[in-house]
Amino acid sequence: MSRPRSLRRQLLVGILLPTLLFVAVNTYSLHRQALAALHTAYDRTLLASAKTISEQLDVRGWDELAELHATVPYAALEAFEADNQSRMFYRVSNLHGEMVSGFAELPVWRGAIPARPPYAALVDFYDDQFRGAPVRVAVLLQPVASSEGRGMAVVQVAETLELREAAALQILRTTLTRQALLLGLIALLVVLVVQRATRPVRQLSADLRARPEGDLAPIAAPAAPRELQPLIDATNAVMQRLSHLLAHQQRFVRDASHQLRTPLAVLKVQVQSALRGDTPAPQALHEIGDTVDRATQLANQMLALAKVEQLRQQGAVPVTRLDAVLREIALELSPLVAQGDLDFGIDTCAAPVHAHEWMLRELCRNLLHNAIRHAPPGTELAVALRADGRHGDGRHAILTIADGGPGIDDELAARLFQPFSAGDVRTGSGLGLAICREIVQALGGTIALANRREGARILGLDAVVRLPLAPLATIAP
């Protein structure tokens, strides 16, 4: 598995690479600008050399018949050679290229004077080769006049580039040195800033490592930067969910160990009594079967209670038709209705809710089973499902299961939804209504038990469940 990327390295790479690219482009541009500035400065020297040579010219004859004469010693150019790093050469010729004086191998100028010369003279500058070395050449068209004639001279002065290149290289070195120092300073600042900025993260990590095992209290970091607050809030939310889940698991293990201990102890006593012959075999087997049934029911209901919590933790919740599930469960429990000789009626409407089908089935089964078990034979059992608030305040599905039983007192109604609080401990485990409450709360609804009265007389018990409706269009075809 690849190692996690370092924030310091990412910042260094993310900042230094673009900066390095900018420095490279900027250094190249500065080098070009330095060369241009050096050319401008040294071209002025070339022009001065050409003017010095033009002052040594003489002419005899007029215009096309003019003959130029030059008495220019090479020593006259030594004043323009800087520190012996560059060498200068010259050539004087007429407009036809006929040499008058200087270095014959210096190529004849074949160009043209720019429309706007850089100086107040008929001068042109260009790059060329002389004796295998690159040179910078200045060409000056100089009118020459004397008492004996008038003509036009072409004065070429060439200079090798050692001095210019040395100066440009020195500028480049200075620039690179400063840019390198700048990059080093940026890198150092990035390291220091990252070190300082991540100090709260390291402190937070140290605090979490120092926590005792099982400590899921919220993280308190008021001094943390604003950018870390979403991470801290999200971590606290996760820790809160883990704390809730851990508490639920601990409660489940505690309740399971406590509740299963009793039927197992009873089962052990019944087996020992049957082995000793204290109870006739058919009666002992019947009692053992009843105990096993109650233990099995208890185990199944405790697993159902745990599954409700598991489904609660899942993210996406499908849309399920409560009315369809309710009718299926009513059909499934119809043998019990017939056995109790109950006058059963069911009235439903379309009621889509955001819930897992298993949760709705468990809710309907527990409520109907309780109502069937507690309804006296021959009485009425009515199941109604209606949608409330479609044009008003909340859009809820209201499920009402009304039996004709004796009802319950207020003290018992207050604790029936608590785990293991059965109205009749001989026939129930006390988990059915607790499972219903957990399911309804997980779905964002409410559940209540209320006596149905006519004056002071109790006509029966109503179990009322309210669940938020989902749009019909969200149901998968």
Asked if residue 374 and residue 263 are part of one domain, the reply reads: no
DSSP secondary structure string, 376-408?
A: PTT-EEEEEEEEE-TTTTS-EEEEEEE--S---
Asked if residue 158 and residue 14 are part of one domain, the reply reads: yes
CA distance 371 to 411: 19
- Per-residue pLDDT averaged across 49-68, rounded? 78
Q: Which among 313, 347, 367 is the end of a domain?
A: 313
DSSP secondary structure string, 206-257?
A: HHHHTSPTT--PPP--TTS-GGGHHHHHHHHHHHHHHHHHHHHHHHHHHHHH
Asked if residue 371 and residue 236 are part of one domain, the reply reads: no
CA distance 311 to 325: 18
What domain count does the chain have? 3
Asked if residue 378 and residue 270 are part of one domain, the reply reads: no
Q: Tell me the pLDDT band of 27, cut-offs 50, 70 and 90.
A: confident
CA distance 268 to 264: 6
pLDDT at residue 324 in the model? 92
Asked if residue 41 and residue 159 are part of one domain, the reply reads: yes
Phi, psi angle pair for 390, to nearest 5°: -65, -30
> Tell me, what CATH number does 303's domain have?
1.10.287
The predicted-structure confidence for 118-141, as pLDDT tens digits, reads as follows 777 788 888 888 888 888 888 888
pLDDT at residue 37 in the model? 80
Would you say residue 381 has pLDDT above 80? yes
CA angle 116, 121, 122 (to 5 degrees): 70
Tell me whether residue 86 is in a domain: yes
Contacts of 162 (CB under 8 A, 6+ apart): 85, 86
Residues in the chain, how many?
477
> Tell me, what CATH number does 452's domain have?
3.30.565.10
CA distance 423 to 361: 23
pTM, whole model, 2 decimals? Answer: 0.48
> What is the residue range of 359's domain?
319-474
The predicted-structure confidence for 317-345, as pLDDT tens digits, reads as follows 788 899 999 999 999 889 888 888 899 99
Burial class (CB in 10 A: 0-12, 13-18, 19+), 29: exposed
CA distance 120 to 137: 17
Q: Which among 170, 205, 238 is the end of a domain?
A: 170
CA distance 384 to 418: 25
Tell me whether residue 270 is in a domain: yes
Residue owning tokens 């560059």: 86
Tell me whether residue 426 is in a domain: yes
Asked if residue 393 and residue 445 are part of one domain, the reply reads: yes
Out of 62-71, 133-142, 228-237, 320-329, which region has the weakest mean confidence (pLDDT)?
Answer: 62-71
Check residues 112 and 343 and name the one with the higher pLDDT.
343
Residue owning tokens 């003290």: 411
Tell me whether residue 1 is in a domain: no
Out of 6-10, 374-378, 465-469, which region has the weakest mean confidence (pLDDT)?
Answer: 6-10
Q: Which among 313, 335, 363 is the end of a domain?
A: 313
The predicted-structure confidence for 174-184, as pLDDT tens digits, reads as follows 888 888 888 88
